[in-house]
């Protein structure tokens, strides 16, 4: 029963967060299509958002049925099939999201093409840039991420080698869904380095994520420009702080995992601890998504900045550069990072070689801990 609840909540969380995505995406870009002001306030878009959400709820409900039966089975069968079902279920959910997204996108594109020409022309044909945008601190500085992490990694290394003799010849490196060890690694100078290597990977990933918040192209609305700049700056800073906390917490969690692995100190509370950890970070991530919205669009500024005059936002329509509405390809644009179109956060300019170099580099260093264990 416990397993059923845990797995259902994984499906539920994924379904819920993706289902809600249109609500915290920008009003001016829904389902990967830039919308002129006239469409942003229309009921049709609201209907699509609702449908998108409800479809995700239905999908989660359908996925839970086989899950329920799997969890009624024999313990060993349940553990084995549970893991497989989790992967299959998530893939199915991802496929459904993609199809639904493309379907909705087509509908929104039709709506947009049916608009009278003037509506489209009045939509921004202007790119607005604030020359002072980058003079303000947008993110947590990089050294504040790197220095504490290096200390934590150093501590992990010292702890591991100080206690090297106490580490068993075979130490656990993987646990099944029921928290029994199902994979061991042989002790060696290199294999005990897997967790510190993972700590390094984490630092690199979070560093790049922070860099994307700092460097991503500014997106200023051509009406209410000042308000949109302030919102966007607040958005970047809030997420950067969130990521900083997450980075430090995960690095410390890895110290604990290293202890569990090399000293075989698995306590019963540890899985619960990890679940609590996930709930806190996913919960606060959702909170930030709703408070700020993509690019800070939902964020309520404390002082009202002539906001009453206009209640729409207008961004430059660059749909031509967005393949399938979500992949940005713009050869001319030197930006590597841009605001993502669907959901919260940044994405990359896939037409730049630097982006691909970064992706390959990431894959290589992610493989590092895996290679160390084997």
Partner 1 sequence: MYIRIRPDSETPIYTQLIYQIKKGILRKELLPGEGLPSVRSLAGDIGINMHTVNKAYKLLVEEGVLTQQKKGFIVNSDTKLEIQPPHLLLYKERLEALVIDTQIFGMSEEMVEQMKQEIEATLKKDDEK
Smallest distance, Å, CB 335 to partner 1?
Answer: 4
Residue number, 127 or 146, with CB nearest to partner 1: 127
* d(C-alpha 22, C-alpha 31), whole Å: 7
Residue number, 18 or 210, with CB nearest to partner 1: 210
314: nearest Cα among 327, 300, 297: 297
Decide: is 122 part of the binding site for partner 1 (CB under 8 A): no
Smallest distance, Å, CB 354 to partner 1?
Answer: 12
Long-range contacts of 177-180 (CB under 8 A, 24+ apart): 177/3, 177/6, 177/7, 177/79, 177/82, 177/83, 177/86, 178/3, 178/75, 178/79, 179/266, 179/270, 179/271
Which residue in the block uniquely carries the two structure tokens 């031509």?
A: 320
Decide: is 217 part of the binding site for partner 1 (CB under 8 A): yes
Q: Structure tokens of 319?
A: 């749909």
In which element (H, E) is residue 328 found?
strand 327-328
333, 350, 355, 362: which one binds partner 1 (CB under 8 A):
333
Decide: is 355 part of the binding site for partner 1 (CB under 8 A): no
In angstroms, the Cα distances linking 284 to 8, 292, 373 are 20, 12, 33
20, 220, 254, 313: which one binds partner 1 (CB under 8 A):
220
Max CA distance (Å), the chain: 76
Residues 263-322 within binding reach of partner 1 (CB under 8 A): 306, 316, 318
Residues 27-66 within binding reach of partner 1 (CB under 8 A): none
Number of residues counted as binding partner 1 (CB under 8 A): 27
Decide: is 133 part of the binding site for partner 1 (CB under 8 A): yes
340: nearest Cα among 354, 326, 356: 326
Judged by CB under 8 A, which stretch of 76-84, 129-137, 270-278, 366-374 contacts partner 1?
Answer: 129-137
Interface characters, 222-241, with partner 1 (x: CB under 8 A): xxxxx---------------
Residues in CB range of 174: below 8 A, 6 or more apart: 181, 182, 183
Residue number, 284 or 330, with CB nearest to partner 1: 330
Tell me which residues touch partner 1 (CB under 8 A): 125-134, 215, 217-218, 220, 222-226, 306, 316, 318, 330, 332-335
């Amino acid at each position: 029963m416990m397993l059923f609840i845990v797995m259902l909540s994984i499906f539920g969380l994924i379904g819920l967060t993706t289902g809600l995505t249109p609500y915290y995406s920008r009003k001016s870009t829904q389902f990967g299509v830039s919308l002129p002001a006239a469409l942003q306030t229309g009921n049709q878009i609201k209907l699509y958002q609702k449908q998108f959400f409800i479809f995700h709820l239905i999908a989660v409900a359908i996925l839970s049925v086989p899950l329920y039966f799997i969890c009624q089975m024999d313990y060993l069968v349940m553990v084995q099939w549970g893991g497989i079902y989790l992967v299959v279920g998530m893939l199915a959910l991802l496929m459904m999201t993609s199809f639904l997204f493309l379907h909705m996108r087509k509908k929104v594109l039709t709506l947009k093409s049916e608009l009278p020409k003037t509506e489209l022309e009045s939509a921004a044909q202007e790119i607005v840039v604030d020359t002072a945008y980058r003079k303000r601190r947008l993110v947590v500085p990089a050294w504040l991420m790197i220095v504490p992490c290096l200390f934590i990694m150093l501590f992990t290394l010292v702890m591991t080698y100080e206690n090297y003799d106490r580490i068993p010849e075979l130490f656990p490196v993987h646990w099944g869904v029921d928290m029994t060890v199902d994979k061991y690694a042989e002790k060696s100078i290199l294999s005990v380095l897997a967790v510190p290597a993972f700590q390094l990977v984490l630092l690199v990933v979070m560093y790049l994520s922070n860099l994307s918040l700092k460097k991503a192209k500014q997106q200023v609305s051509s009406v209410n420009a000042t308000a949109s700049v302030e919102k966007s700056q607040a958005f970047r800073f809030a997420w950067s702080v969130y990521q900083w906390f997450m980075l430090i917490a995960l690095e410390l969690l890895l110290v604990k995992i290293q202890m569990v692995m090399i000293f075989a100190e698995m306590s019963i509370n540890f899985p619960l601890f990890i679940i609590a950890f996930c709930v806190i970070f996913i919960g606060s991530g959702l909170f930030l998504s709703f408070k700020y919205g993509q690019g800070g669009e939902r964020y309520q500024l404390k002082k009202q900045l002539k906001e009453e005059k206009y209640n729409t936002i207008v961004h430059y329509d660059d749909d031509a550069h967005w393949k399938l509405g979500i992949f940005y390809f713009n050869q001319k644009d030197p930006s590597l990072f841009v605001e993502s179109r669907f959901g919260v956060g940044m994405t990359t300019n896939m037409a730049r070689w630097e982006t691909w170099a970064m992706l390959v580099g990431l894959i290589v260093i992610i493989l590092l801990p895996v290679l160390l264990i084997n």
